[in-house]
Amino acid sequence: MTSATLGSNVSYLYVIGLLGFARPKLAGFADRLDRASIITTSMVSDRTGEGADPALAWQERLPGGLVIWIFLAIELLTFSLFFVAYAWSYSKDPVVFAEAQSHLHPTSAAINTAVLLTGSWMAARAVWAIQHGHRDDHWLMAAGVAGVVFIGIKTFEYVEVFSDGFSMSTNAFWFYYMFVTFMHYLHVVGGAIIMTVLAVRSRREADNPERLVGVEAGAIYWHLVDVIWIVLFPLIYLVR
């Protein structure tokens, strides 16, 4: 059994497990955001006085709550390990990697980069809007739409790759490409769902100041997805 085939089998098990756990985690994510927002808002009120507006006292706390920052650190560490492994494998067989990269479409990846950056800007605008007493739901929904556009473009790319006969067991490049980009793909799916859920709740609870922490956490998650892709894009599509 080749190393690529062994890695492929391991990755399949990982993806299946990830998909199995993704649904309940996504279902509970919004509830955790609500609980975090209630706790954090209470802490802000204790420090700034009864009835204090958390939108005016956001500097007094960690934006988005502690949990999202711990999650961010773990995710960045995990993807960093994959990036290092990819670079090491590339250095061992650059000719194979370069030939495999020639089958990709950097233009579509560049468009997706612009889509994600636009989504991050919209998520940041949503945080600004809620801090200043403006509507934030349309910004959140727009960020979710950006996620859907990314998913559509990336899905089309996957279809082309598979139709050309490539799979995770073809060689080391295709293993890393499909494994790491699909992990990121799932994160974008989660981000689009989170942005949509936050938009719907913001529309229903427009006067609830406790939404601030949840919106901040959602925006931080989206920025995480963006940062990961900014590293993935040149590493997978451009460096040869």
Q: Which two tokens stand for residue 182?
A: 């699909």
Query: Is residue 22 classed exposed, middle or buried when 0-12, 13-18 and 19+ CB atoms within 10 A define those classes?
Result: middle
For the chain, the C-alpha Rg in angstroms (whole number) is 20
Q: Which residue has the tokens 């494998």?
A: 89
Three-class SS of 25-41: HHHHHHHHHHHHHHHHH
pLDDT value of residue 239: 79
pLDDT value of residue 194: 94
- Check pLDDT > 60 for residue 52: no
Q: CA-to-CA distance for 172 and 46, rounded, in angstroms?
A: 55
Q: Is 172 within 8 Å of 96 (Cβ atoms)?
A: yes
Domains belonging to the chain, first-starting first, are 3-238 (1.20.120.80)
How many other CB atoms are there within 10 angstroms of residue 155's CB atom? 11
pLDDT value of residue 6: 39
> How do residues 72-90 score in pLDDT, each as one tens digit?
899 999 899 999 999 898 8
DSSP letter (8 states) at residue 59: G
- Check pLDDT > 90 for residue 67: no
> How do residues 156-214 score in pLDDT, each as one tens digit?
999 999 999 998 888 989 999 999 999 999 999 999 999 999 999 888 876 666 778 88
Who has greater pLDDT, 139 or 62?
A: 139
Average pLDDT, the chain: 79
Q: What length does the chain have?
A: 240
Q: Is 112 within 8 Å of 181 (Cβ atoms)?
A: no
Phi, psi for residue 74 in degrees, rounded to 5: -65, -45
Who has greater pLDDT, 63 or 213?
A: 213
11, 16, 98, 114, 165 from 186: Cα distances, Å: 14, 12, 26, 19, 23
Model-wide pTM > 0.75 = no
